[in-house]
Amino acid sequence: MHRNWAWIGAALTLLAAFALRIYELGAKDLSADEAFGVMMIQQPFFDLWRTGQDLHPPLYHGLAWLMARAAGESAFTLRFAALIPGVLTVALAVALGRRASGGWTAGLLAGALTAISPALLYWSQDARLYTLLACLTAASMYSFLRLTQTPTRGAWALYLLTTLAAMYTQYGAFWVIAAQNLAALARWRGRLRTWFAGQMLLALAFLPWAIGQAAFLAQPSNLRAGGFSLARAPEDGAAILRFWFLGYTEAGLPQVYILGLALTAFGGWRMRRTANGVALALWVALTFALVIAWGGLLDYFDPRFAIAAIAPLFVLIGVETAGAWREHYARGIVNAILLAALIVGMALSALNWYRQPQTAKGDYAAVMARIAASAQPGDRILFSNPGQIALIFVHAPQAIPHALLDVERVNRPGTETYLDEVVGGAARVWLVEYGDPSGFDAMRLVPNYLSGRGLRALEFDYDSGKVMLFDLRRLDAEWQPLDARFGAAIRLAAYQIVIDADAARISLRWTADAVPEADYHVGCHILNGAGMLVAQTDSLPRGGAARTVDWKAGDLIEDGCAVPLSPDLPSGRYTAAVVLYTYPELARAEVTGADAAPSGLAILTTFMR
């Protein structure tokens, strides 16, 4: 390929990579990990380098700190710190392909594949460290290949600098360093003393961080080692392959990664007798194997830990495709067809990333916006899991009083006294749960406490948890007797109701005649004069703290709900009713008794509005 055309092709590849990564860069909400990064860079620059703050080394936070100070802390500018190394990774793939094969064609093919990589596209639009890891490990390997050919002082300096930077970015750099050491042992026997001296320099430069971080990494919450197991190895291996070629948003041709794996294997075989080929193949193979083994040791696996091996994958594919085309016309045609199918599959997955909703990284910001839009004077927000502290820092409505609950104080004697202090005189409380409640409120003490002091007004799920709204205003009304039996085990014996301008507030008194057979949800429904549902509130009894399957004969359970009434409801007669149903089947319990109505409804009262 003519040199001028090659440079033009490389420039166009980088331009395309930049365009793909900057498109809708700030559109999606910040994820929890991104929010943690925002919280980290609030501190002075040199404080970022203190150990014990993050699992990962601090280099990316330093770059993000500089970007934020230069251009602000919008989602766009924060992610731009990941976009830059994402584009540079494409440039390094071109350079690696050219150096590995001695020609531009392989380099441009490798760069084009890297440019459209769905995995690298995803992480180039995420304010985290993974594109920096991919970039610096590629730079380290490029400098290693230069070093093995021309071991000058400049080559040594470039290798040590890029490798140390990768080490201070993420521990996945060590998979690449392991590959370099094996390649050096296999192909660089005459200068091993010098090589290992360089490795000692790297180890000494990383030692201060390793010593300072060791105690933090060894904490039970971080080191989850429970015995080595490879039971999930086949599943994890398939996940890595899908991630390498299709990212997280695979769409169409879901098995196309097999074509990519085949082309990679062909490329490795083609270069098996060259030092460059050995280094690249070891880079891919060791990353694959060690990420799986690491997940088996710590019982924590994510394919993103193998992101550093994407560039060499595409380099090997580029080398194989270019070499086959030069050597044999028929084989070149076959490889071109395989490559075209791979590109189509990758492009469809990359396109699917843009088609996802703006909340594809999580809908926490949308949840906070919904709370802020519905809030009233006297509201308070309680966040029940410290795992959302970074999201609270970034997204919590500052105009609404809020508190992060102390998990230890919630789950020890005196819970009610502590919650009395936190809730204070709030008229309504929004409880925002995040993650699995078994980790912070396994006995459902907080929703049970709030259900005992108020009425459920709203409940909805979001990607990472659940939100419940409790109306704590005093319900001044007489208990009205009722005779509604749900099945053979549950009886609704009495209720209280107050109709306000904005809600129908209802307390319910349940009794259990036997152990209920089903796990029922309680629905408080408001029907218009035509019997049509116009408002409702649905939840497990006492916010899940008193599930019907846990009731015993003779139990008396008080629960309640506050059904929001839209100001747009027309004047007329309305009916308040209660229903029990299973979820997700939506099968209603049969109702009998004087207050029963068709369709499984227990009628409470009618009112004018």
Whether 402 shows a pLDDT value over 80: the answer reads: yes
Can you tell me the mean pLDDT for 322-341? 77
C-alpha 405/C-alpha 380 separation (Å) is 12
Instruction: Please state, rounded to an integer, the average pLDDT across all residues of the chain.
Output: 89
pLDDT single digits (tens) 417-440 = 999 999 999 999 999 999 998 889
Enter the DSSP assignment of 170: -
pLDDT at 324: 72
Model confidence at 547, in pLDDT bands (50, 70, 90)? very high
**Which range, of 102-111, 148-157, 217-226, averages the lowest pLDDT?**
217-226
In what side-by-side order are the strands of the sheet with 573-582? Answer: 533-539, 520-527, 573-582, 601-608, 596-597
Who contacts 24 (Cβ-Cβ below 8 Å, separation ≥6)? 125, 354
C-alpha 369/C-alpha 358 separation (Å) is 14
273-303: buried (b, 16+ CB within 10 Å) or exposed (e) per residue?
Answer: eebbbbbbbbbbbbbbbbbbebbbbeeebeb
pTM beyond 0.95, yes or no:
no
The CATH class, in words, for 480-608 is mainly beta
Contact 86, 21 (CB under 8 A): yes
**Which range, of 278-292, 353-367, 415-429, 470-484, averages the lowest pLDDT?**
353-367
Can you tell me the mean pLDDT for 523-542? 92
Whether 260 shows a pLDDT value over 80: the answer reads: no
In order of 125, 317, 577, the CA distances from 526 in angstroms are: 45, 63, 6
pLDDT at 131: 97
**Letter for the amino acid at 134?**
A
pLDDT at 377: 93
C-alpha 101/C-alpha 276 separation (Å) is 8
pLDDT at 253: 60
Whether 394 shows a pLDDT value over 70: the answer reads: yes
Model confidence at 223, in pLDDT bands (50, 70, 90)? low
Can you tell me the mean pLDDT for 234-251? 85
pLDDT at 515: 92
**Letter for the amino acid at 250?**
E
Comparing CA positions, the residue from 403, 392, 404 lying closest to residue 368 is 392
Model confidence at 2, in pLDDT bands (50, 70, 90)? low
Sign of CA dihedral 453, 454, 456, 459: negative
Who contacts 436 (Cβ-Cβ below 8 Å, separation ≥6)? none
Structural element, H or E, at residue 290: helix 275-298
Contact 123, 130 (CB under 8 A): yes
In order of 94, 95, 104, the CA distances from 10 in angstroms are: 7, 10, 9
Can you tell me the mean pLDDT for 54-71? 94
Can you tell me the mean pLDDT for 229-239? 86
C-alpha 84/C-alpha 131 separation (Å) is 8
Model confidence at 227, in pLDDT bands (50, 70, 90)? low
Domain ranges within the chain, ordered by starting residue: 9-207+223-355, 364-471, 480-608
Q: Residue 422 phi/psi, 5° resolution?
A: -70, -45
Whether 264 shows a pLDDT value over 90: the answer reads: no
pLDDT at 225: 59
pLDDT > 90: percent of the chain: 61
Can you tell me the mean pLDDT for 118-139? 96
Comparing CA positions, the residue from 463, 426, 440, 433 lying closest to residue 540 is 433
Whether 94 shows a pLDDT value over 70: the answer reads: yes
**Which range, of 129-138, 428-437, 468-477, 592-601, averages the lowest pLDDT?**
592-601
Comparing CA positions, the residue from 241, 250, 243, 258 lying closest to residue 351 is 250
Whether 298 shows a pLDDT value over 80: the answer reads: no
Can you tell me the mean pLDDT for 561-588? 92
510-539: buried (b, 16+ CB within 10 Å) or exposed (e) per residue?
Answer: bbbeeebebebbbbbbbbbeeeeebbebbb
pLDDT at 252: 53
C-alpha 316/C-alpha 434 separation (Å) is 43
Contact 249, 240 (CB under 8 A): no
